[in-house]
Amino acid sequence: GVNLSGRHFLKLLDFTTEEIEYLLELSRNFKDLKRTGTPHRYLEGKNIVLLFQKTSTRTRCSFEVGAMDLGMGVTYLDPGSSQMGKKESIEDTARVLGRFYDGIEFRGFAQSDVEDLAANAGVPVWNGLTTEWHPTQMLADILTVKENFNDDIKGKTLVFMGDAKNNVARSLMVVCSKLGMNFVACGPEECMPADDVVEACRPIAEANGCTVKLTSDVAEGVAGAHVIYTDVWVSMGEPDEVWEERIRLLEPYRVTSEVMAQADPDAIFLHCLPSFHDTNTTIGAQKAEQFGITEMEVTDEVFEGPQSKVFDEAENRMHTIKAVMYATLK
């Protein structure tokens, strides 16, 4: 059997297919316990700390509610309120927090930072998003796919539309390759995933009977797809100056009803959120007005439509993050 006790959760390339499937099963069990109101304070007496160098709604709240449901205490440190990175190194911070806490969540910039933390903490470290990877997100995404396709995900095709070089797209490529789903990155040349990730994924995909494809042709990319996925065009930590070019490059890759119509009739739409689809929201509104557009990465029609499962996906963040904490701390 699988035993993840004491392990870090830094990126999905570190986990086998069997381990990822185990975490998804565990997530489903936790979802049932939550639904039926069955207490599951399995980690009573433990404490965790959440270190955020970027903002968050879903990830932070998933760790907090998940930890409380498991009976643990939680400390949240926001981007400005600890010494880390300013008066104290990541290594020293890790050595201190590792003596207080049983587990550490980190959201930040460089993947090397979360790896430094893990190397020095002496307790499990969970990656809540870096510039390179967003591994907890993919567990929620795949759980949502399983729920919509009666568990039968092998051989299904997931298409990521837009900024396919970002943390979410890269992580989706890995999880699809490990679980036997075909992955398609559909975007402009300038926004394709880095070669090293593609090269790492191709043999994994081949071993699991699926493919990794990169294309700039929307019709070719989305034909027959089972999951259409997108994310914001500009990620946290990127300079404001990239917006103009990004909009120009990515407008042809917006998820519209026409795109959905070319996918499989049972296709679902996913988005990790937050989304700029609602141009009434602050940054969305500001950028839409500045660049004279009315829709961002996905139209309101698709986002609010029957194929959209984005709020089930968001809920699943909590159940899956709970599973990661339980598996690594038990």
Q: Contact between 93 and ligand CP (CB under 6 A)?
A: no
Give, in order, the Cα–Cα distances in Å from 278 to each of 141, 150, 243, 294, 318: 21, 31, 17, 9, 24
Please tell me which residue in 116, 231, 271, 277 is annotated as part of the active site: 231
Considering only residues 265 to 324 of the shown chain, the ones binding ligand CP according to CB under 6 A are 272-274
Q: Residue 57 binds what, of ligand NVA, ligand CP, none (CB under 5 to 8 Å, by partner type)?
A: ligand CP
Number of amino acids touching ligand CP (CB under 6 A): 9
Residues 6+ apart with CB under 8 A from 276: 232, 233, 283, 284, 287, 288, 296, 297
Report the C-alpha gap between 96 and 224 in whole angstroms.
51
Smallest distance, ligand NVA to C-beta of residue 60, A: 11
For tokens 């795109």, the residue is: 259
Q: Identify the residue among 27, 56, 148, 166 touching ligand CP (CB under 6 A).
A: 56
DSSP assignment of 123-179 equals S-EEE---SS--HHHHHHHHHHHHHHTTT--TT-EEEEES-TTSHHHHHHHHHHHHH
Give 212's strand partners: 183
**Is 36 part of any known ligand binding site?**
no
Smallest distance, ligand CP to C-beta of residue 287, A: 18
> Does residue 262 have an active-site annotation?
no
Q: Residue 166 binds what, of ligand CP, ligand NVA, none (CB under 5 to 8 Å, by partner type)?
A: ligand NVA
Give, in order, the Cα–Cα distances in Å from 49 to each of 76, 96, 152, 236, 291: 6, 12, 36, 22, 40
Smallest distance, ligand CP to C-beta of residue 313, A: 9
Q: Contact between 171 and ligand CP (CB under 6 A)?
A: no
Residues 6+ apart with CB under 8 A from 292: none
Task: Rank residues 137 and 328 by Cβ distance to ligand CP and give the closer one.
Answer: 137
**Is 135 part of any known ligand binding site?**
yes
**Half-sphere exposure of residue 137, counting CA atoms within 13 Å on the CB side?**
28
Please tell me which residue in 60, 246, 272, 277 is annotated as part of the active site: 272
Q: Contact between 57 and ligand CP (CB under 6 A)?
A: yes
| Interacting residues toward ligand NVA by CB under 6 A | 129, 166-168, 231-232, 235-236, 272
Q: Which helix (H) or strand (E) holds 214?
A: strand 212-215
Q: Identify the residue among 53, 59, 82, 131 touching ligand CP (CB under 6 A).
A: 59
Task: Rank residues 157 and 167 by Cβ distance to ligand CP and give the closer one.
Answer: 167
> Does residue 248 have an active-site annotation?
no
Spatial contact of 65 and 48, defined as CB atoms under 8 Å apart: no
Classify residue 183 by its DSSP letter. Answer: E
> Does residue 272 have an active-site annotation?
yes
Report the C-alpha gap between 165 and 327 in whole angstroms.
30
Q: Contact between 129 and ligand CP (CB under 6 A)?
A: yes
Spatial contact of 51 and 82, defined as CB atoms under 8 Å apart: yes
- Return binding residues for carbamoyl phosphate: 56-59, 83, 107, 134-137, 272-273, 317
Catalytic residues, by residue number, are: 107, 134, 137, 231, 272, 317
- Return binding residues: 56-59, 83, 107, 134-137, 167, 231, 235-236, 272-273, 317
Interface with ligand CP (CB under 6 A): 56-59, 129, 137, 272-274
